[in-house]
Structure 1
Amino acid sequence: MRRLHFYIMGLISLAFGVIGMAEYVMVSYGLQLGWLDGYPADQLEWLGSLPNWVHGVWGAQATLALVGALCLLAHLRPAVWMLFFSFLTLVVLIVWAAAVATPSILALTGDETTTWIIMGLTALLSLLIYLYARQEKRTGEVL
């Protein structure tokens, strides 16, 4: 049996990719299902008015996270660069939402501390998934 932590990290990365893609698709198509049902109207309006380039970057991030996770589980080396670019695009989205967007996500939510914690933990999870895949590639046992 292969190392158990590989499958655990693979499932964590797959869940991260699936949730990211699900949220992107729901926002892109204006579906108010699942957790989007609990969003206030002003946040849904903000999500509905995202610039096209943000939708493109978000779509790329969600796709790279999901396909990177599938590649990781399939023992394919392209998982490393896919997960790196997924992390990089996520950082771009966080910086845009917090510092450039009008109104910023921080002003929109009303609770800056919680928003920073959620954005930070999301970026940290993406970074850790990438670092795990990179380490697996370096050791050469799985990737």
Structure 2
Amino acid sequence: MKLIRTNPFSLNRVSDFDEWFRHPLAGLPSLSSFINNLGEVFPGVTGDKLAVDVHEDKDNYFASFEVPGVKKEDVKIELNNGMLTVSAEKREKDGEKESSYSLTRSVSVPEIVNAEAIVAKLEDGILTVTLPKQERSKPRTITLN
């Protein structure tokens, strides 16, 4: 067995203390995440954007928007020039006082989406927009001869 002598404070290794001096705020959340968290408490702070989750399977793209407490008639969905825009107006009554604010979010839609077959449903405060892929863009299996 061979013993090798090492020096943990050699010039090749940066100590945690040196790293802290180089980036003292690295462990703190970024300003944008701080502002987004404020938007959950104060809706006007984030520019009134809806939270969205976009994912896909082999046949469709899905965009799920959080719209808690919003009625179906207060949601507007629009596809224009490759952009899917969802707007929701939320109205709240507090005694005789009524307040409302609107939330909007736009996501880019790939050209391979079949615009005529887009479907949307609102369930339990989640608006799910299903964007089917065109037949020619779906993956296919090719057999070897």
The TM-score with structure 2 as length reference comes to 0.21
- Bigger radius of gyration: 2
Task: Indicate the structure whose relative CO is greater, using CA pairs within 8 Å and at least 6 residues apart.
Answer: 1
Which one has a larger percent helix, Structure 1 or Structure 2?
A: 1
Which one has a larger percent strand, Structure 1 or Structure 2?
A: 2
The TM-score with structure 1 as length reference comes to 0.21
